[in-house]
A and B are shown apart, each in its own frame.
Chain A
């Protein structure tokens, strides 16, 4: 018979470093999905001044603007979190307290950047 396995991800707690790592992956998926439409829009906007004007109009749409905000924020988070992982690969920040502090620093930096990004976009 098939024995059950207990694996309720909503009930199992993860340390801050674990949450940071999972968000690193989620941000990677988000960047991957949004990269193509954002690149297409960029190429389109560089085609002519008319195209650029049309591309600017996209930013008047709140849904597009929110997606763009999440895209840039995702890149920033993925970059900062990636540096954290690289530092760990060199053998630093491998204790639980350092892992927690570096994960918290990643969140704080991303939070501060999100305010700056909100200020730039809105």
Chain B
């Protein structure tokens, strides 16, 4: 940044949600003026790191900075996404960038939320292969190409939480509705030819809340940083549940 001349810099307004449980009674938005290069794009995480140089007390999670670890999920100008792979030019409006925590989850500090409710729902779907066959787990369980293709678009989820925290059904019923991320993973194991617990998995999902609170508003699809489609996976589960009931 030091080598950039003044005419290559533009200043943007960055507004960050702040809350420190040891100091603040309620959250507030803090504004920063951030200099960014005018001739090249930055990621939102880069802007946030620059703000942290101004105020080291700003707290947020980040790790891989390339959309793999899923730790820097946040609400960026109203839409959930990963700061590290969201270009500033895609989201900035009127030269202003507002960063808030993932909606609906308890805020620990600033942009850091408590993911317990999200992880608890993930645990419920038993996110591992269950097989009643006596298989040597040290050996690969063979699948045909067609069987393997059925889990494409499902296994790539990085559990960043952007989808579930963008879902109104999850906001209102975070303990009963499993949320798009957990349901995408539920279908990932239901669709997996190596898994033999389909019946048990479906039985666990057939109540009024776990799956059927999804009303297909597609916010999950809209915000998924990996381009996955939880709405479609949930639709497949719903169809299997209906077929099973008939």
Contact = CB atoms under 8 A, between A and B. Distances in A.
B78 A3 contact: no
A15 interface: yes
A94 B232 contact: yes
Contacts, number: 88
Q: Which of B221, B236, B238 counts the most chain A CB atoms within 10 A?
A: B221
Contacts of B229: 94-96
Interface string B209-246: 00000011111011000000101100110110000000
A38 B155 CA distance: 52
B151 interface: no
A81 B213 CA distance: 17
Contacts of B106: 3-5
B78 A17 contact: no
B167 to A, nearest CB: 9
Given A13-B79, A21-B215, A6 B101 contact: yes
Interface residues of A, number: 25
Given A3-B21, A4-B107, A6-B107, A99 B218 contact: yes
A80 to B, nearest CB: 15
Contact of B235 (A1, A8, A91): A91
Interface string A1-33: 101111110011111011011100000000000
Contact of B222 (A5, A94, A96): A96
B27 A6 contact: yes
Q: Which of B168, B216, B219, B229 counts the most chain A CB atoms within 10 A?
A: B216
Contacts of A22: 217
Contacts of B100: 6, 8, 11
B32 interface: no
Contact of A6 (B103, B114, B166, B219): B103
A89 B77 CA distance: 31
Interface in B16-32: 17, 19, 21, 26-27
B216 A5 contact: no
B79 A94 contact: no
A39 B108 CA distance: 52
Interface of B: 17, 19, 21, 26-27, 75, 77-79, 98, 100-108, 114, 166, 168, 171, 215-219, 221-222, 229, 231-232, 235-236, 238-239
28 contacts: A1-B21, A3-B21, A3-B106, A3-B108, A3-B114, A4-B19, A5-B107, A6-B17, A6-B104, A7-B103, A7-B104, A7-B171, A11-B78, A12-B78, A12-B103, A13-B79, A17-B219, A18-B168, A88-B216, A89-B235, A94-B231, A94-B232, A94-B235, A95-B221, A95-B232, A96-B221, A99-B218, A99-B231
Interface of A: 1, 3-8, 11-15, 17-18, 20-22, 85, 88-89, 91, 94-96, 99
